[in-house]
Amino acid sequence: MSHADPNCIFCKIAEGQIPSRKVYEDEELLGFHDIRPHAPVHFLLIPKVHVPSLQEVGPEHEALLGRMLALAPRLARENGADNGFRVVVNTGPDGGQEVYHLHVHVMGGPRPWRVG
C-alpha cells in the first residue's frame, strides 16, 4: 500500500496540491465539502494514505475506519445536520465509486435531497 498515488485526485487534495473546502484535518484524515453535493450537508472523509476502495481494506485499516465513522457524527452536527445524516461508501464500479480512493460520504440536512 502506497502512501499516495500521484494520479489520484483525492491524494492531490490531501497533499494540498488541489484546493478544497475543508471541514476537518488531522495527520490521518481529511474532510472536505463535496463539489457536487446531493444534500444541504455533504462532505467526504478520506484517509490521507491511498487505499483504492473499501474492497482493499484489511485488518490493518480497522482503526482508521473506526476513526472515520466515529468522526462522522460530530462533523455532521458541526456542519448543520442536526436531525440526522446518511453515511455512504461507494465501492467499485457496480457500487457507484467514481474516485478510486477510499472515501465516506456524509450527507444530511433538511429534505428533500437531490437524487442522482
Read off the pLDDT of each residue in 89-101 and give the average, rounded to a whole number.
Answer: 96
Supply the pLDDT for residue 111.
82
- The verdict on whether 103 is a catalytic residue reads yes
- At 85, give phi and psi (nearest 5°): -160, 170
| Cell numbers that stand for 67 in this block | 476513526
Supply the pLDDT for residue 1.
38
Residue 51: CA atoms inside 13 Å, Cβ hemisphere, count?
A: 24
CA distance 17 to 40: 26
Supply the pLDDT for residue 69.
97
Q: Judge whether residue 95 has pLDDT over 50.
A: yes
Catalytic residue among 42, 50, 103, 105: 103
Read off the pLDDT of each residue in 49-71 and give the average, rounded to a whole number.
Answer: 96
The CATH architecture assigned to 9-108 reads 2-Layer Sandwich (3.30)
List the chain domain ranges.
Answer: 9-108
Q: Judge whether residue 110 has pLDDT over 90.
A: no
Q: Judge whether residue 115 has pLDDT over 80.
A: no
